Structures are given as structure tokens and as C-alpha cells.
Amino acid sequence: QDVIVIVDEAYIDFAGPSARELLPGYDNLLVVQTFSKSRSMAGVRIGFALGSPALIKALNDVKYAYNSYTMNLPSQIAGTQAVKDRAYFEETRAKIMTTRERSKKRFAELGFTFPDSMTNFILVTHERVPARAIFDALKKEQIYVRYFNAPRLDNSLRVSIGTDEEMDVLFRFLEQYVKEWKPAGNSE
């Protein structure tokens, strides 16, 4: 209770429930969310924080004292409208979640494993084919996923959920690719 706990809920709209439900019981809790993911506004640089009046006051005091470049007006107007348009928000996040669930099935059928995803991306690893090989092949097809050359991540690909059409292009390519892939230097 003598520290401030910040919960980063960048992906909460693709999952739930939010830690905001804990706010009434904890005045040292700050829940932060962004408009960059579920509200499709990456680059606009909007987010918000939910917390007790004392915590929010402390944030505002610091902001007005040290940060003379607070969020610009067009961004504030766009953000306000985005929150008001509940129907569009519900529609787009439902689409992502539906496509994500369908994608999990397709990845599993193609021999990929992944930690279960409650976000707008899936971190997949193939049972035979190295992630690096898949990444390079996809890039040649102009299909872009993320590859991290880092310990524990370098045999995985981070695939963001796109439209159904985009995911189908990916799966059509992967179907052929993993079927035909053979380790290099094995000519039998």
C-alpha cells in the first residue's frame, strides 16, 4: 500500500476484465490505457490514466509544472470522438478477436504452437521450420511479421492480426511453405 502500482492495459480491449474494477479499493493503483491499439490511433499519441483523485491531481500538478507541450487540441478532439463512437469501437475490436480465434485454429492446423493470446497478436513457433526461415520467405512475398533476434524469442514470429483477407494471404502461403520446407544441406 505504500507504493504506487501501475497496470499497463495496452491490450485490455482484446481481453478483459480490466483492473479498473479494483480502483475503488486501492487509492495507490493507476490503470493506464492507450488509443494506439484497440482504437486504431497509433501515432496520435493518446492514452489515459485512471486512479484516485489524489493520484490524478499529482499527475496534473507535474504535467502543468514541467510539461508545457501537453497533448495537442486536434488529438484531444479526435480522442474524444473515438470514445464517443462506441459502436465503431465495439465493431472493430470484435472483428480483431474473431479473426484472432480463427487464426489460432489455422496456426495449430499448420503445426504452429503459441502461448494463448488475449491481444491483437500471436507469438507462433513452428514444430519443424525455424522462425528465421519463415520470416525471410514471408518478406519475399511482402508479408511482414516481426522477428526478434534475441534469446528465447529467436524461434518465434510475432504476427499481428490483420483483416480476414490479409490473414488468408498469410495462411495460403504458409500452407505450401511448411509442407515443402526441408533443412538445408539435406539432398535426399
Q: C-beta of 127: minimal distance to ligand PLP in Å?
A: 28
Q: What are phi and psi of 32, to 5 degrees?
A: -115, 140
Q: Which is nearer to ligand PLP, 5 or 108 (CB)?
A: 5
111 binds ligand PLP (CB under 6 A): no
Query: Applying CB under 6 A, what is the total number of residues that bind ligand PLP?
Result: 7
Q: Which of 121, 149, 150, 87 is nearest to 11 (CA)?
A: 121
36 binds ligand PLP (CB under 6 A): yes
Only one of the segments 36-44, 109-117, 150-158, 176-184 lies at the binding site for ligand PLP (rule: CB under 6 A); that segment is: 36-44
What residues between 6 and 35 interact with ligand PLP by CB under 6 A? 8, 10, 34
Among 42, 77, 94, 108, binds ligand PLP (CB under 6 A): 42
DSSP code string of 87-151 = HHHHHHHHHHHHHHHHHHHHHHHTTEE-----SSEEEEEESSS-HHHHHHHHHHTT---EE--ST
Q: C-beta of 165: minimal distance to ligand PLP in Å?
A: 24
50 binds ligand PLP (CB under 6 A): no
Cα separation of 162 and 104, whole Å?
13
Among 40, 47, 75, 173, binds ligand PLP (CB under 6 A): 47
Cα separation of 64 and 36, whole Å?
24
**Contact in structure between 114 and 122 (CB atoms under 8 Å):** yes
Cα separation of 160 and 100, whole Å?
9
Q: C-beta of 123: minimal distance to ligand PLP in Å?
A: 13
Contact residues for ligand PLP, defined by CB under 6 A = 8, 10, 34, 36-37, 42, 47
